[in-house]
Amino acid sequence: MRAAALHSYKPLNHENNAPHSFGNMKALSSAVLVVLLSISLVSSHDQIDFHHFLRCLPAHSHRSFPIAEAILVPSNSSFQSIYQLRANNLRILSSATSRPVAIITALHPSHAQATVICAKRHGLQVRIRSGGHDYEGLSYTSSVPFVIMDMFNLNSIDIDMRTKTAWIQAGATTGELYYRIAEKRKVHGFPSGVCTTLGIGGHLSGVGYGVLMRKYGLSIDHIIDAQLVDADGRIHNRRSMGEDVFWAIRGGGITSFGVILAWRVKLVRVPPKVTVFTVQRTLDQGATELAYRWQQVAPKLPKNLFVRL
């Protein structure tokens, strides 16, 4: 039913833009009437579903962590600012893309479970957002009615120096991770992206490459465990999800498989001091020759040296 309603909504919207070329006011007015009728049908249907969705959430959340504090609807004063804060592609933000019907700013793992269960039950799509750096804005836009599950509150970083491992919640950023590791020990690090505001949730499900790439490979090479909410709202670790799913979520784009609550990673050794410098060359100063030379020498350099062009 929803699919049909949405389907009729789109072409009518398009017709609504076109009628000037018809020059037939009667056709225009009946087209507009149909548009209005279909919009009101769609929205009342959505409102009922949405109402049921909101009512469903507390029943599936941990009682000691009321989910009401995590629910933002457009009438909440902070809705718009929270939406925009991690909608990093301004081209998508400024265009007339549809907004979510709600943002669930999960404060507890059970809030993620409840969102999955209730959204599925009441016909809403879930878009999961950690750092909001998706190039196409897939974590905060959709063409169907949707809720955003925003992970930024789940951002703890738990480092165990005995095992040289860390549990990192999805909402933590790469910069926070680097900082927390350096705080503990200057001779450890983690191979991830250059940008320091990437969300660990999305970043580690993609690949994760950066300045330690030559020496240590990719972020996903160093993941040893994960906490994943599946489509039925159950929480899994590596053992209960099985090796096939664990393999798939490291590089396959996580949203097809579930919601990542946290990743467990192995830290790597780094020298306490590194030297970093930038050389700038214009084309007139021989930048083309430099790029050519770089391609020849880069693969042969010692692994402790990283040159980026």
Ligand X SMILES: *[C@@H]1O[C@H](CO)[C@@H](O)[C@H](O)[C@H]1NC(C)=O
Ligand Y SMILES: Cc1cc2nc3c(=O)[nH]c(=O)nc-3n(C[C@H](O)[C@H](O)[C@H](O)COP(=O)(O)OP(=O)(O)OC[C@H]3O[C@@H](n4cnc5c(N)ncnc54)[C@H](O)[C@@H]3O)c2cc1C
Where does this chain bind ligand X (CB under 6 A)? Answer: 68-69, 71-73, 75-76
- Selection from ligand Y, ligand X, none that 132 binds (CB < 5 to 8 A by kind) is ligand Y
Structure tokens at 23: 């020059």
173, amino acid identity: T
- The answer to whether residue 207 forms part of the interface with ligand Y (CB under 6 A) is yes
Residue-by-residue DSSP string for 8-62: HHHHHHHHHHSGGGT--HHHHHHHHHHHHHHHHHHHHHHHHHHHHHHHHHHHTS-
Site for ligand Y in 118-147 (CB under 6 A): 127-135, 138-139
The reply to whether 223 sits near ligand Y by the rule CB under 6 A is no
Provide, rounded to whole angstroms, the least separation between the CB of residue 69 and ligand X: 5
> Is residue 115 helix, strand or coil?
helix
155 binds, among ligand X, ligand Y, none (CB under 5 to 8 A by kind): none
Would you count residue 67 as binding ligand Y (CB under 6 A)?
no
Angle of the 25-59 helix axis to the 109-121 helix axis, nearest 10: 140
Binding mask 73-102 for ligand Y (x = CB under 6 A): ---------------x--------------
Write down the number of H helices and E strands in the chain. 11, 11
Residue 107, amino acid: L
Rounded CA-CA distance 166/212 in Å is: 18
What does the per-residue mask of binding to ligand Y show for 12-41, with x meaning CB under 6 A? ------------------------------
x/- contact string, 226-255, with ligand Y (CB under 6 A)? ----------------------------xx
290 binds, among ligand Y, ligand X, none (CB under 5 to 8 A by kind): none
The answer to whether 221 touches 193, Cβ cutoff 8 Å, is no
Q: In the complex with ligand Y, which residue's Cβ is closer, 86 or 122?
A: 86
Q: Say whether residue 208 binds ligand Y (CB under 6 A).
A: yes
Least CB distance to ligand X at residue 54 (A): 9
Residue 201 CB coordination number (10 Å): 29
Residue nearest to ligand X (CB): 76
Q: Among 115, 144, 130, 164, which residue's Cα sits nearest to residue 267?
A: 164
For residue 231, give both structure tokens.
Answer: 């489509």
Residue 277: CB atoms within 10 A of its CB come to 4
* Chosen from ligand X, ligand Y, none, partner binding at 71 (C-beta under 5 to 8 Å by type): ligand X
259 binds, among ligand Y, ligand X, none (CB under 5 to 8 A by kind): ligand Y
